[in-house]
Structure 1
């Protein structure tokens, strides 16, 4: 007769397995806004992002950088619309009931329409440029002093100066549009395209042959 293999009794232990040790050093900060490519989204400039958020700063640094990119993209989108309107002849001399941009400086809309967009901007009086920057400052001060659309008056530090305080979201959504990640990504991508476009348009307009790609104007 063959002997059955003896089995040792299983001893259950009450010991709870210890959790793995937490990784040491700065943790990688995920970046929203990776560009979708074939095979999956790709994040261009990832090495620089890691340096800015892990070596030189933190995740709050990344929040600020993304807000800065968002604002620059919005400004560039406005600039491309204004540049295109000027080139297409949709200038204020055809729209505004007034003849002069500045009566005291003798600047006419018709004179500006005959210039290139960059030359027209150079001929805007300093008072007009001051109004533009004052308008921009209103929005910047609003974001610095408000949180979730409400004025924060009982804090020692403005919410926009606290870590992660500047996000580019002013809390203004009169149409109650649902803000999804897809819409956020679309705005970032359009802003990035506009930054490239306005840079190329200005270079092509002011420096002959600087852009080898033929442009519509």
Structure 2
């Protein structure tokens, strides 16, 4: 019995030794991710140390969410500029009453408030449906897929390959540009929202 007990540790994984190795592996994965640049002094901007608590799958989820939210923020900021700049809106009706988007005016927040509850529900249901379908794509971005690649019902939402440069380094540069522009757009659209709800909070708006 004593010989069996003494031999048992030989078949037990050294958990205390594996933990630091895993942390180093995750840190190396973070350091190799795209997006580092002079604005962060070539280092990972992670003031909350979220990466130290993340597995490789979680890091993939972080990057996918960052890219997707950055794209939404870029669209939102351009949309805000378009509407508030007085550019023409979609001329069709958004309800059976015949009310048009143009009739909502050119104040983005007032236009949203003026939309009927049913219209807002349709927008959120459409977004939720697209999100649900994109999560069903295989391979999933947390299981060997590509973070940022959005596929819905077999169709990948991406620009035509004819619009992308043929050089691999140029494509990589475009990816970094998208990532950084998305980060800036997230800050920008949050600034717009802050300026609306807290007047004077953003000096330039």
TM-score normalised by structure 1 residue count? 0.66
Once the two structures are superposed, residues 48-98 of structure 1 have per-residue CA deviations (whole angstroms, 9 ceiling, x without a partner) of: 233331xxxx11011011111111111111110110011110142xx51x4
Equivalent residue in structure 2 for 1:183, among 174, 199, 203 = 174
User: Which structure 2 residues correspond to residues 1-217 of structure 1 after superposition, within 5 A?
Assistant: 24-25=18-19, 26-28=22-24, 29=26, 30-31=29-30, 32-37=33-38, 41-45=42-46, 48-53=49-54, 58-92=55-89, 95-96=90-91, 98=92, 100-104=93-97, 107-114=99-106, 116-147=107-138, 159=140, 163=143, 167-170=147-150, 171-173=156-158, 175-176=160-161, 177=164, 180-212=171-203, 214-215=204-205
Q: What residue ranges of structure 1 are gaps of 5+ in the alignment?
A: 1-22, 149-158
Mapped to 2, the partners of 1:39 and 1:167 lie a distance apart of: 22
SS in 2 for 1:147: coil
**Structure 1 residue runs of 4+, over 6 Å off?**
none
Once the two structures are superposed, residues 80-128 of structure 1 have per-residue CA deviations (whole angstroms, 9 ceiling, x without a partner) of: 0110011110142xx51x4x43343x744344215x2112112222222
- 2:5 maps to none
Mapped to 1, the partners of 2:82 and 2:40 lie a distance apart of: 38
Structure 1 or 2, whichever has the larger Rg, is 1
The answer on whether the counterparts of 1:52 and 1:62 sit within 8 Å (CA) in structure 2 is no
**Residue 205 to residue 174, structure 1, CA distance change in 2 (3 Å):** closer
RMSD between superposed Cα atoms in Å: 2.9
Mapped to 2, the partners of 1:144 and 1:81 lie a distance apart of: 26
Which deviates further from its counterpart, 175-184 or 64-73? 175-184
SS in 1 for 2:160: coil
Aligned pairs, number: 171
Structure showing the higher strand proportion among its residues: 1
The answer on whether the counterparts of 1:86 and 1:117 sit within 8 Å (CA) in structure 2 is yes
Structure 1 residue 132: deviation in Å? 2.0
The answer on whether the counterparts of 1:61 and 1:164 sit within 8 Å (CA) in structure 2 is no
Q: What residue ranges of structure 2 are gaps of 5+ in the alignment?
A: 1-16, 151-155
Structure 1 residue 164: deviation in Å? 5.8
The answer on whether the counterparts of 2:35 and 2:180 sit within 8 Å (CA) in structure 1 is no
TM-score normalised by structure 2 residue count? 0.69
Mapped to 2, the partners of 1:117 and 1:39 lie a distance apart of: 33
